[in-house]
Amino acid sequence: MAVRTEQLAPAAAGTVHGTGYQLRRLIFRLLDYGLMILLAIFFLFPLIFMLVSSLKGDEGQVLRDMSSLQAFVPSSISFQNYQDVFKNVPFGRNMLNSVIVTGGIVALGLLVNSMIAYSLARINFRGRSIVLAVVVSLIIIPFQAVAVPLLLLVNSLPSFGLGKPGWIDSYHVQIIPFVADAFSIFLFYQFFIAIPKDLEEAALVDGAGRFRIYWSIIIPLSKPVFATVAILQFLSRWGELLWPVMVTRGDSYRPLPVAMQTFFGQQPRQWGDIMAFAAMVTIPVLVIFLIFQRWFVQSVTSTGVKG
């Protein structure tokens, strides 16, 4: 990763500089690592606190330990809290809902957003520049500013015979409004215009259609941008709280963030159970993140470089 600290701290210093220099360098290095370890503790302690508390089966223990370093010592490992969560709330259902909603948005979004981006980047159709300008300007509209009228809108849409008024309390009400995303289109567009045209030209000469080209040339060449958009959309949709608070009524379609908030709101608060719930929400994503770490890093960085 790091490329050039080598020049900042002249290496192979021992021979050129004296031992005093080496000692200074050693101290500096220790301070450097010390600082980074302190920061690591700062970023990790709430998560460790969550995990350790969730493993303390006795609620009294959780509360007694919360004010000292005991909070980070799993004195006795018990899965009682986890069992309680499964007993009291349909956690599995909430998880499934989150997976369906987020998965649906990401999968459909990849298709829909890359398709329009391809036509904007490669086909010179009438109205192209207007569509492009509108899409780019839509990036600025915050979802929060349209949430309330959107609620009214989805409330009045036909319900596909589900026996309820409107779209409220369903999967599609949580998926469809988020599929098309102006920023994703923009990321795809930027990537596509940078792909050399030669391959496509050759395919066009050979009589391949645009859909064929999009499917068998563009998509295989664009894996990085597909990964970027998928990860960014995942990160922003998986934790979405505002919209599902407004459009879900019960546990049947409720995703994890709302379920977390509702579980937290139940009195009396059982902190052990709450931490077990929080841990079960967090750990799967953490594992996925650790496995696909490289892609996460690349996708985040690719959003920033264009300024």
Partner 1 sequence: MSVQNTVVPRSGNWRKGEERTAWLLATPAILLLGSFLIVPFLMAVYFSFTDQRLVPNPNLETQFIGFRNYQRMLDDDTLKHALLNNFTFVIVVVPIQTGLALALALLVNQKLRAMNLFRTIYFTPVVTIMAVVAVIWYFLYNPGSGLINSFLQSITFGLFKPVDWLGDKNLALPSIMVLSIWQGVGFQMLIFLAGLQEIPDSLYEAADIDGASRWQQFRNVTIPGLRNTILFVVISTTILAFRLFDQIWVMTKGAPEDSTATMVLHIVQQGFSQQKVGYASAISVFFFLLVLTISILQRVFIKEERHV
- 93 with 258: CB under 8 angstroms? no
Asked if residue 290 binds partner 1 (CB under 8 A), the reply is yes
CB of 36 to partner 1, least distance (A): 5
- 225 with 303: CB under 8 angstroms? no
Question: Residue 158 and residue 6: Cα distance in Å, rounded?
Answer: 64
Question: Residue 49 and residue 41: Cα distance in Å, rounded?
Answer: 11
Residue among 126, 194, 196, 220 that touches partner 1 (CB under 8 A): 126
Choose the stretch contacting partner 1; rule: CB under 8 A; options: 12-20, 74-82, 86-94, 176-184. 176-184
Asked if residue 229 binds partner 1 (CB under 8 A), the reply is no
CB of 69 to partner 1, least distance (A): 10
What would you measure as the largest C-alpha separation in the chain, in angstroms? 83
Asked if residue 42 binds partner 1 (CB under 8 A), the reply is yes
Residue among 257, 270, 273, 276 that touches partner 1 (CB under 8 A): 257
Q: Which of residues 201-220 bind partner 1 (CB under 8 A)?
A: 201, 204-205, 209-211, 214
Choose the stretch contacting partner 1; rule: CB under 8 A; options: 18-26, 82-90, 200-208, 222-230. 200-208
The b/e string for 78-98 (b: 16+ C-beta within 10 A; e otherwise) is: bebbbebbeeebbbeebbebb
Choose the stretch contacting partner 1; rule: CB under 8 A; options: 12-20, 39-47, 77-85, 88-96. 39-47
C-alpha angle 278/283/286, rounded to 5°? 125
Q: Which of residues 72-111 bind partner 1 (CB under 8 A)?
A: none
Question: Residue 210 and residue 249: Cα distance in Å, rounded?
Answer: 44
Choose the stretch contacting partner 1; rule: CB under 8 A; options: 13-21, 41-49, 75-83, 221-229. 41-49
Question: Residue 275 and residue 49: Cα distance in Å, rounded?
Answer: 9
